[in-house]
Chain A
Amino acid sequence: MAEPMGFFTDVSVCIGCKACEVACKQWNQLPADNGGVVELTGNSYDNTGTLDGTTWRHVRFVEDFDDRSQGRWLMFSDVCKHCVHAGCLEVCPTGAIFRTEFDTVVIQSDICNGCRACIPACPFDVIDINPVNNTAMKCTLCYDRLQAGMVPACAQACPTESIKFGPVRELQEEADVRLMELQRAGVSDASLYGRDEEMLGGLNAFFLIVGPPEWYGLPKNPQLPSSRSLNGEGILGALTAAVTVVLGAISFRKLGPMRRRAEAEQNGTLDDQPSRDGVAS
């Protein structure tokens, strides 16, 4: 296997320009929602809402202005974490999801049967069905570009190098330096998310965040489906898989994130994830 490759995404220099979102959609030919005609969410400058089958990069905006004199506007370009221990890969019944020679996790649309098992298996709520082909889709870390020796589209487009692409080991070193710089500059609540092995064996796409993970919809302690089984959720886990296989035939994309989250909570797949309402607004 080639060296593990990944992303280091740094909130502290993200300007929320969304070039990553657009570059991703353009390279991967993903459609705009409803031809681009959507409603203003009123949630800061985020009109995308969430990662899903047609949005593989998503910039979240966090307004931390309870005390205006210390006001902060934080922008976070979310993406598939390409976990070393990947829940989606673990549950995929068809083998559509595989680990590449770059240690990234890719779903093969031509094999995926749309069973949806991977959707609740992802502790980060990354995957969803692409309504165009009714298969589960997510960031491939531009597997096609990597094979051609190119940088992923989002990292290429990022004007401030907030999204860095490279060998994970090098990115980790860069991240450590950056964190130290920020701490020295007095940003006491900066931290690295997913840099270390403790989190699912390490996230190949990891982050520098400012403030608590729940501001960014990130679980404090993400779990694999298998580890949840060990905690006595085996039967429920199996049931979940069965239910999702049945539902796989129906696209329920329109149910929206709230309903999906409720469902996930019911299925016990969100047990460690704090509410997104923790995001300051």
Chain B
Amino acid sequence: MGRGAATTFAEDLSRSDCIVIQGSNMAENHPVAFRWVIEARKRGATVISVDPRFTRTSAMANIYAPIRPGSDIAFLGGLINYVIENDLYFRDYVVNYTNAATIINEDFEDTEDLDGVFSGLLEFEGEPINGFEYTYDKETWQYEGFPVNRGGRQADADVEQNDDESDAIGGEYFEQAPGGPPYDDLVEYVRPDGLPELDESLEDERCVFQIIRRHFSRYTPEMVERITGCPRDKFLEVAEALTDNSNPSRTSAFCYAVAWTQHTKGVQMIGCAALLQLLLGNIGRPGGGIVALRGHATIQGSTDVPTLYHSIHGYMDHPSALEPHETLENYLVNEIQPTGYWANMPKFLVSYMKSMYGEHATEENGWGWDWHPKITGDFSHMASMVRMARGEIEGFFCMGQNPATSLNGKFERAAMRNLKWLVVKDIFETESAAFWYAAPEVQNGEISPEDIDTEVFFIPSAAVGEMGGSFTNTQRWVQWHEKSADPPGDCRSDEWFTHQLALRLKALYEDSDNPHDEGFNNLLWDFDYDEGEYPEDTRIEGEPDTEKILKEINGYWTDDPDTHLTGFAELEDDGSTTCASWIYCGVFPNPDENKTRNREPDPEGEIGSHQGWAFSWPDNRRILYNRASADPDGNPWSEEKRWVWWDEDAGEWTGYDVPDFDVTKPPDAEADPEGIGLDAHSGSDPFIMMADGKGWLYTPNGMVDGPIPTHYESAEAPIRNPLYSQDKNPITKYWRTDGNELIQHGDRDYPFVVTTYRLTEHHLSGVMTRWLPWLAELQPEMFVEMSEELANTLGIRNTGWCRVSTPRGSIRVKALVTRRLQPLIIDGNIVHCVGMPFHWGYMGVVTGEAANDLTALVGDPNVAIHEAKAFMCNIEPDD
């Protein structure tokens, strides 16, 4: 839907009438946010838990629906089919606010036509490091007569061969593009003529609604049961609860977390939930939405101001050497979406370039474009580890992660042995810091520490309470937190380390006249405290002023740095504004007002969005696309679900939230067929980030693996795909290399489905918990959870030892036998699913073998996340 975040905030869940928690174990992993689910349930909402295991979330649910790991799209697709076939979709919402009526290119062919693939499938001809075998040419997926361009595509998937615009249009198109600033002419130049063609009766065979209907027509309750193992009755119970609670006066929400992302089709799972929620009219309305539960503190922040390799600040694609990005203008021509709010991208981009290179970024040098790094392919975690295994990477800064136990551990530890140097900065000596002497393969004599040339530096880190700065939480709220104490000894904060490293590197390169170093030398790095401002209550020297970092992110007038920008509407494309991440603009509107420090909640019992508590990007809007909470005429859909509405007298949008819309644009405003930006949208087009202002049921661009979610089996699965002869996602990322072998579908040597997960008592690889006796004693040992039936079949007793194996590795763990897990009937056969927490490793107060010694480097084609939530294994008793 055009924004990489939860559409609402956790407290808003208390207004839901039905909450579906799928792909998340919210009670265990987000217990604090879960209080609002409890609140909703107390008020009579129906809480639904869809999960392979009966978890602590299921314990709090009204309905528990078991499913096989990796079968979520079949389940959601079944719900979509149920909603459409029973006419239970929210018609006024669907016709006006989604692209249901939009006509699609006549050459488009669906998975129903091509037995599991979409039109445009090609063999991938790019570098193997990108992990692809196939790719799609997306030309046939487009809207009829109105190609849409932008939307989070992954650079390495779109290598030149299938970049239709550049191939079809050629260099001439780019050469003739007007320059800037201002870039208005350029935006106009790339704008397609007119508006998308619509059939609001939704009857045209080529309209999105009919395509979706046909696409999911075989996802019947019977098929859902066959693929997912969820009993038909249970599935129908979910379908009824969800549809009973989705209408003008009721709303339903979905909550998901990494159990939807860690798949070879994870983005499509989320997209499938979005499709369903749009059909039900649950987006942009109070108590509705899709809540992306983030896995740890400020992971939302780390994608907004990203550590992602394929994105620069504010969700703009990273400049790429594989795309026609030779100049800033070319980048804009290729990436800009001239209709919708993204038409302002020149302002975002130029202001970003100013934040990178300051005074060195000028109109003459294209704002320093040549200095900016361009990616040359996949630099995600998985691809980087493959490069490391090949000896192509010399050094590795490992901060806030623990690769030795986080994914195909044996492979990654072997990769790290090829490094010349490794820096691990953490609060304890982690498995990654100790891999050279404590890893299983070293302990068992397979590898000798003498044979490892990697020089390992361990930098002791400050803990959370010993650092100050901002956190962005799961609901997009940026909140300041103060340091509470100095860290002990030589421990230093992450910002100290990064700042000092940068200062030292800047000094090192200062005198270089190598053109290669010019960009680095021109990089703006001005985060030292002003004289006399350094805090007195610390013995640590050399910390950066974190508010200066926030100021750079927020933005200021280039000529008058003391005047901060108050919102992204002020951004300019001529260099007069400097702003690192446009979506955060307004977080620090003047030097005395850091909004992340705001702590004024709404009075208890009063409906509101806590405008006075912290800052929520964008522009303090708490529910995204909240224009959709009103009907096309601008009135609330119902009194119960009033949120943002049109005030005719005042001539503006108003409500309990900051309207996520042009505040003075009346509901009856017409879309301008020649208009740029929001002018191309009507007053009833709520989805301002999208090219057509609509919520996309069908994604003509933005997904590399298809415009509609489709059930594929996981890379490893117990059965062949019952729906198509295409078994798995044709656009999977997989690296065929030693130590990363996959199990073939239906292989009887590895008959059990396994999913990995977290427990409340521990966090991720355990660095923040397994070293802490109070937490260690609560879950002291690694285990594999299995049903009584499977334990009996294998002769395994509760707490008895067993061996779990995949072609990647084998671990010895205890069994936790429970009737909370149950065998499922999948495609007519009994399938056993087991689960393993991934918290343990060989260091810490409590140790155990690592679940991630079993996982593979195979994952999602859109975002390069590995598939740890569904794979196959074998289990034997090993007492």
Chain A residues with CB under 8 Å of chain B are 13, 15-19, 21-22, 25-26, 31-42, 44-45, 47-48, 63, 65-66, 68, 71-75, 159-161, 181
* A–B Cβ pairs within 8 angstroms, 28 of them: A15-B28, A15-B34, A15-B57, A16-B59, A17-B28, A17-B760, A18-B760, A18-B761, A34-B777, A36-B775, A36-B780, A36-B846, A37-B777, A37-B780, A37-B845, A38-B777, A40-B780, A42-B814, A45-B759, A47-B778, A48-B777, A48-B778, A66-B819, A68-B822, A73-B59, A159-B32, A159-B35, A161-B35
Whether B56 and A15, one on each chain, are in contact in the complex, defined by CB atoms closer than 8 angstroms, is yes
The contact of B779 among A13, A42, A45, by CB within 8 Å, is A45
Whether B775 and A22, one on each chain, are in contact in the complex, defined by CB atoms closer than 8 angstroms, is yes
Greatest chain B CB density within 10 A among A21, A37, A41 is at A37
Question: Chain B residues with Cβ under 8 A from A74's Cβ?
Answer: 59
Question: Chain B residues with Cβ under 8 A from A32's Cβ?
Answer: 773-774, 776-777
Chain B residues with CB under 8 Å of chain A are 27-28, 31-32, 34-35, 38, 42, 54, 56-60, 64, 759-761, 772-781, 783, 798-799, 814, 816-820, 822, 845-846
Whether A63 and B818, one on each chain, are in contact in the complex, defined by CB atoms closer than 8 angstroms, is yes
- Residue of A whose beta carbon sits closest to that of B779: A47
Whether A160 and B56, one on each chain, are in contact in the complex, defined by CB atoms closer than 8 angstroms, is no
Question: Chain B residues with Cβ under 8 A from A26's Cβ?
Answer: 774
Bound form: Cα–Cα A135–B845 in Å: 28
Bound form: Cα–Cα A215–B56 in Å: 18
Whether B42 and A36, one on each chain, are in contact in the complex, defined by CB atoms closer than 8 angstroms, is no
Whether A159 and B820, one on each chain, are in contact in the complex, defined by CB atoms closer than 8 angstroms, is no
Consensus secondary structure, chain A interface: loop
Q: A16-B59, A73-B54 are in contact. Are A36 and B777 (CB under 8 A)?
A: yes
Q: A40-B783, A73-B58, A159-B32 are in contact. Are A65 and B799 (CB under 8 A)?
A: no
Question: Chain A residues with Cβ under 8 A from B42's Cβ?
Answer: 13, 181
The contact of A159 among B34, B798, B816, by CB within 8 Å, is B34
Whether B778 and A18, one on each chain, are in contact in the complex, defined by CB atoms closer than 8 angstroms, is yes
Q: Number of residue pairs across A and B with beta carbons under 8 Å?
A: 115
A229 to chain B, nearest CB (A): 39
Whether B798 and A42, one on each chain, are in contact in the complex, defined by CB atoms closer than 8 angstroms, is yes
Q: A13-B38, A73-B56 are in contact. Are A65 and B780 (CB under 8 A)?
A: no
Question: Chain B residues with Cβ under 8 A from A161's Cβ?
Answer: 35, 38
Whether A36 and B773, one on each chain, are in contact in the complex, defined by CB atoms closer than 8 angstroms, is yes
The contact of A13 among B60, B772, B818, by CB within 8 Å, is B60
Whether A160 and B818, one on each chain, are in contact in the complex, defined by CB atoms closer than 8 angstroms, is no
The contact of A71 among B56, B64, B780, B781, by CB within 8 Å, is B64
Question: Chain B residues with Cβ under 8 A from A13's Cβ?
Answer: 38, 42, 60
Question: Chain B residues with Cβ under 8 A from A45's Cβ?
Answer: 56, 759, 779
Whether A36 and B774, one on each chain, are in contact in the complex, defined by CB atoms closer than 8 angstroms, is yes
Whether B59 and A31, one on each chain, are in contact in the complex, defined by CB atoms closer than 8 angstroms, is no
- Residue of B whose beta carbon sits closest to that of A41: B799
- Residue of A whose beta carbon sits closest to that of B26: A15
Question: Chain A residues with Cβ under 8 A from B799's Cβ?
Answer: 39-42
Q: A18-B761, A37-B846, A65-B820 are in contact. Are A47 and B35 (CB under 8 A)?
A: no
Whether B783 and A71, one on each chain, are in contact in the complex, defined by CB atoms closer than 8 angstroms, is no
Greatest chain B CB density within 10 A among A36, A44, A159 is at A36
Which 3 pairs, one residue from A and one from B, show the smallest C-beta to C-beta distance? Answer: A36-B773, A36-B776, A32-B773
Whether B814 and A40, one on each chain, are in contact in the complex, defined by CB atoms closer than 8 angstroms, is yes
Whether A160 and B35, one on each chain, are in contact in the complex, defined by CB atoms closer than 8 angstroms, is yes
Q: A36-B772, A36-B845, A47-B777 are in contact. Are A17 and B56 (CB under 8 A)?
A: yes
- Residue of A whose beta carbon sits closest to that of B59: A73
- Residue of B whose beta carbon sits closest to that of A35: B773
Bound form: Cα–Cα A161–B36 in Å: 11
- Residue of A whose beta carbon sits closest to that of B58: A73
Whether B781 and A40, one on each chain, are in contact in the complex, defined by CB atoms closer than 8 angstroms, is yes
Whether B780 and A73, one on each chain, are in contact in the complex, defined by CB atoms closer than 8 angstroms, is no
